[in-house]
């Protein structure tokens, strides 16, 4: 049986999330898809905060 996938459209692009139900934080029960949705929710503010600043990843 193939693992479930979730396809999200983000800024005109399709992004496939494999194993979206995988629990990343067992104590709270938050899943991989929960984490992706959180990142999408905070991205505008986070990116605004680091705009025009040097970065090393």
Q: Are 32 and 39 in contact (CB under 8 A)?
A: no
Around Cβ 20, how many Cβ atoms within 10 Å? 19
Q: Let me know if residue 56 belongs to a domain.
A: no
Q: Let me know if residue 37 belongs to a domain.
A: yes
Q: Let me know if residue 36 belongs to a domain.
A: yes
- Is the pTM of the predicted complex or chain greater than 0.85? no
CA atoms within a 13 Å half-sphere pointing along the CA-CB vector of 11: 3
Question: In terms of residue numbers, what domain contains 15?
Answer: 5-50
Q: Let me know if residue 43 belongs to a domain.
A: yes
- Give the pLDDT of the chain (57 residues) as one tens digit per residue: 667 999 999 999 999 999 999 999 999 999 999 999 999 999 999 999 889 899 887
DSSP assignment of 3-50: PPEEEEEETTEEEEEESTT-EEETTTTEEHHHHHHHHHHHHHHHHHHH
Name the domain count of the chain.
1
Q: Let me know if residue 55 belongs to a domain.
A: no
């Amino acid at each position: 049986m193939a693992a479930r996938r979730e396809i999200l459209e983000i800024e005109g692009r399709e992004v496939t999330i494999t194993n979206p139900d995988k629990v990343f934080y067992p104590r709270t029960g938050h899943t991989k898809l929960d984490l992706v949705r959180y990142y999408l929710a905070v991205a505008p503010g986070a990116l605004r905060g680091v705009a025009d600043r040097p970065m090393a990843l």
